[in-house]
Amino acid sequence: MTFQELVNKRQSNRAYSNKPVEENKIIQCVEAARMAPSACNSQPWKFIIVDNPELKNKLAQTTSNRLLPLNHFTNQAPVHIVIINEGSNFTATLGNKIKNRNFSLIDIGIAAEHFCLQAEELGLGTCMIGWFKEKELKSLLNIPEKKRPELVITIGYPADEYREKKRKSLEKILSYNTY
């Protein structure tokens, strides 16, 4: 599969079969995320694999919300991954402060997408979720007060159809030598 085919094939999967996910496949996805680049090689991430069914179902309640009916699917996914922001290293933190930026969020986006693209290549489906009840989620997984969960990724064998991607045209997002 070319990279373009992989990118086009990946989608936010919101329906899953009940086929269990092989543990070694999840490890392969974390391995792809582990190799992601980051500002000053900070690697400001930690991955919690939630595969205990009871705990996973409780976790799914933190991502499901009356306001967001789109996310009612989460309890279908057999495994959830929670990505924790561990904070940047000294150099990147200095850069964050001097330049008023938060490089760790960019880094976490990159690592999360490595995870999802690797999953796609292995025939698995994923959905990144950034909207969840943070306090409940932290308490459920014993996440220290000062650490922040940034994303939950649902993973499993997908049961939804391929949807055509809706994206802005190239002309709308591209220019040469000036804004």
Residues in 67-126 at the binding interface with its own copies, rule: CB under 8 A: 84, 95, 99, 101-103, 105-110, 112-114, 116-118, 121
How far apart are CB 74 and its own copies at their closest, in Å?
16
> How many Å apart are CA 154 and CA 58, to the nearest integer?
13
Residue number with CB closer to its own copies (16 or 107): 107
> How many Å apart are CA 111 and CA 38, to the nearest integer?
8
* Binding to its own copies, residues 152-171 (CB under 8 A): 165-168, 170
Residue number with CB closer to its own copies (16 or 38): 38
- Residue 22 sits in the site that holds its own copies (CB under 8 A): no
Helix (H) or strand (E) holding 106: helix 103-121
Closest CA to 156 of 25, 9, 7: 25
In the list 6, 17, 19, 20, the residue contacting its own copies (rule: CB under 8 A) is: 6
Closest CA to 23 of 124, 133, 100: 124
- Residue 136 sits in the site that holds its own copies (CB under 8 A): no
Total residues contacting its own copies (rule CB under 8 A)? 72
35: three-class secondary structure by DSSP: coil
Tell me, residue by residue from 41 to 60, as one string, x for binding to its own copies by CB under 8 A and - for no binding: x-x-xxxxxxxx--x-----
Residue with tokens 């308490």: 139
In the list 151, 152, 153, 155, the residue contacting its own copies (rule: CB under 8 A) is: 151
How far apart are CB 28 and its own copies at their closest, in Å?
7
Residue number with CB closer to its own copies (18 or 142): 142
Alpha carbon distances (Å) from 80 to 12, 106, 137, 149: 14, 21, 12, 13
How far apart are CB 159 and its own copies at their closest, in Å?
19
Closest CA to 58 of 70, 48, 50: 50
